[in-house]
Amino acid sequence: METVVFIVAAVMVIGGALGVVLRPNPVHCALSLVLTLFGIAVLFIAQDANFLAAVQVIVYAGAIVVLFLFVIMLLGVDKVENLEIDELRGQRPLAAALGVAALGLIVITVFAAGGRRITGQHSVSGTLSGGEPDINVLAHSLFSDYVFAFELTSLLLVIAVVATVLLARRPRPRRRPTEDVAERDEVRQ
């Protein structure tokens, strides 16, 4: 049963990823991304990361992809990209070769490690097999061991909001002071 879930979710993930890379229309790419994100959420649940699956769907599929679609529609870039043209010569074969090489490297690393995945001391309090739901363990760990990083990420979010508002603002048209005064006098009379 778990294998069936894994295979279905893996098909969703890989199919969505190929859709993002291969479809010429950016809106189709965004929808393929949603498929991938849902597949990842299913895989999270299969690995007992229920809270993360929910957060993934809410934040990634529900907010980030919607933001992408907003920007696509706002900027009008949903015109279909011409996938035939290759700007840099030989870019596509080189990218494919690099991709295969990187994949080979990662696969070799995964298999070379074998069973030796232990790196350092295991956590005592943050175990998943204790019988507690994963969200309890996650909350315990987050607010005790990682509370500093937690506060920093909240600071990061505030900075990101300020930066986004500032960057996306329409530039205000500058007027010289003399023109301003003349306009004001005109309006008064």
Partner 1 sequence: MILAVTPTPTWYLLLAAVLFTIGGVGVLVRRNPLVMFMCIELMLNAANLSFVAYAKALNDISGQVTVFFTLVVAAAEVAVGLAIIIAIFRRKPGATADDVNMLKG
SS3 of 142, please? helix
In the region spanning residues 15 to 34, those forming contacts with partner 1, defined by CB under 8 A, are 17-18, 20-21, 26, 29-30, 33
Instruction: Give the span between the Cα atoms of 76 and 11, in whole angstroms.
Output: 31
The size of the interface with partner 1 (CB under 8 A), counted in residues, is: 87
Output the six-digit token pair for 117: 């995945």
In the region spanning residues 67 to 126, those forming contacts with partner 1, defined by CB under 8 A, are 67-68, 71-72, 74-77, 81, 87, 91-92, 94-96, 98-100, 102-103, 106-107, 110-111, 117-118, 122-123, 126
Instruction: Give the span between the Cα atoms of 26 and 32, in whole angstroms.
Output: 10
SS3 of 82, please? coil
Binder of partner 1 out of 90, 112, 116, 129 (CB under 8 A):
129
Instruction: Give the span between the Cα atoms of 27 and 138, in whole angstroms.
Output: 35
SS3 of 81, please? coil
In the complex with partner 1, the residue whose CB is nearer, 107 or 182, is 107
Q: What is the closest distance, in whole angstroms, from the C-beta atom of residue 175 to partner 1 in the complex?
A: 20
In the region spanning residues 35 to 74, those forming contacts with partner 1, defined by CB under 8 A, are 36-37, 40, 43-44, 46-49, 51-52, 55-56, 59-60, 63-64, 67-68, 71-72, 74
Binder of partner 1 out of 8, 133, 151, 160 (CB under 8 A):
160
Q: What is the closest distance, in whole angstroms, from the C-beta atom of residue 174 to partner 1 in the complex?
A: 16
In the complex with partner 1, the residue whose CB is nearer, 46 or 182, is 46
Binder of partner 1 out of 8, 133, 151, 156 (CB under 8 A):
156
Instruction: Give the span between the Cα atoms of 17 and 32, in whole angstroms.
Output: 7
Cα 171 from chain centre: 28
CB atoms within 10 A of CB 86: 10
Number of H helices, E strands in the chain: 8, 0
